[in-house]
Each structure stands twice: as C-alpha cells, then as structure tokens.
Amino acid sequence: MDNRQHYAAIIADIIGSRTLTNRRQVQTKLQMVLQNINNYSFLGTYEQLIQTAPFSYTFPKPKQSNFIKDSIASSFTITLGDEFQGLLSDCSLAVPIVDYIEHHMWPVRIRFGIGIGEIHTEIIKDSPFGMDGPAYHIARDMLMQLKQSEKKHKEPYTTIRIGIADNEKLSLMLNMTFSLLSTLKAGWTDKQQKTLHTFMEAGQYNQMQTAALLGITQPTVNNALASAQFYTYLHTLAGITSILSEECV
C-alpha cells in the first residue's frame, strides 16, 4: 500500500528519564496526558491557535471540527519506558499537541522529533507497531539529531526538531523558530509556567478568570504574561500551525 498523502509522525522521549527519582509517577502522568490527546481534550485550549495565523495577511479557512477529530491517524502511545509516538493526518495539530504535552508534563522536559512525509504501510489506529514510511524515518532521525546536538558545543538549543520531506528550506526555517521558542521557554520560572498554563487551560485566555483560579490579582497575571513574552510565543505557535496545515495533503 503506497499512501500518497503526507502524515506527521511525532516520536518523543523524556530527557534524563533514568535520573528521575519519581520515574513511575512520571510515566503514569504521561500515560494520562497521551490519553487526553487521543480523546481530543486539547482542542478547546488550542482552537484559536488552529484557526488563526496572526502574522499572515490572509486568514486560513476554518477547519471542520469533525475533520479535526478524525486527524489522529494512529493513537499516541508509550512504546518504551521513556519514549512515545503518534501519527497525524492533519499536520496543523502537531504544534498544539507538542505544546500541550510540554505544559502538562512540566517540569519534566521532553524532546520531540517530528517527521512529515508519506506512510507506505497500512495505518493502524490503536497500535504504533507495524507501520513504516518516510514520516517515521524522518521523525526518528530528528530525535537522534536532538540527542546528538546535546553532546556538542556550539549547537543551538532546542527540544523540537522537524523534517519535512522534499522541503528542506521550510524545515530549516521552522527549526530555527523552534530553537528560539525553546530558548524562550527555558527562561520561564515555575510561577510563569503555572500562570501561563492556567491562562491557556482553565482560564481560556481570560486574565480575570486566571487570577481568580490562582488566587492572585489580574495585574499579576498580566505581568507574568508580559515578562514571559507569552503573546509573542502564542502568536508564533499559531503561525507555525497555519504553515503546517498545508503540509498533510
């Protein structure tokens, strides 16, 4: 079976998993986070991100919700103790899913390899095993490159690397962007992380509601968002999401 459509394969692992003192609890939490993704629980948080391209002079056509909810081609599953993967038929969901995992697994750090290309075998919905194709090969290569770069001096810092079949220029641009975003996130404090997470998740982009949930003032929420350069971060994710929406075709 030669499936001409492009898919986004995500292969990721936990950084420094062997040194974690609460490794069992982390794996249990990861399982719950992946289940939330498979149930599309993340869509409400990222709906604005999926449908908006703030740096563009044109607006993408809104996606049909029933199409989005059929876009996880193969469920996100833990394949090894510290490694997991999933397959998407809608590339625009790759960035929201990665961001969702990062926020919900904090302070545990995760590296993500994303590969966009064809799948040459039958798609298996509930199992990551038995599938093959360029999307998986690229994702695995991206993950290996991340691991290798961590051991070298003078390498750009990043926790996300993407490879797009037959589009090296776009891959390069996105990887430079991911590096800048990873550097920005690395500077966030625990308090900023908590505020940003609540603002996106429970607060639904509402500063007053976020303040009430955290027991702080609205100006404190606003200062946390501003000092973290959160809106620049969010709008950049939206721009990447819009660009990737054209790749799984």
Give me the domains of the chain, ranges plus CATH numbers: 3-188+228-244 (3.30.70.270)
| Residues 243 and 49 sit within 8 Å (Cβ to Cβ) | no
Question: Both tokens of residue 98?
Answer: 């990665």
Separation between Cα atoms, residue 77 and residue 95, nearest integer Å: 17
DSSP state, 43?
H
| Residues 171 and 117 sit within 8 Å (Cβ to Cβ) | no
pLDDT tens sequence across 15-36: 988 888 888 899 999 999 999 9
Higher pLDDT, 170 or 130: 170
Higher pLDDT, 2 or 224: 224
Instruction: Provide the b/e sequence for 41-59 (b: ≥16 CB within 10 Å).
Output: ebbebbbebbbbbbeeeee
- Closest CA relative to residue 132, chosen from 79, 187, 94, 87: 87
Question: Both tokens of residue 6?
Answer: 């492009």
In the structure, what pLDDT confidence band is assigned to residue 202 with cuts at 50, 70 and 90? confident
Half-sphere exposure of residue 113: CA atoms within 13 angstroms, side-chain side:
24
Q: State the pTM of this model.
A: 0.91
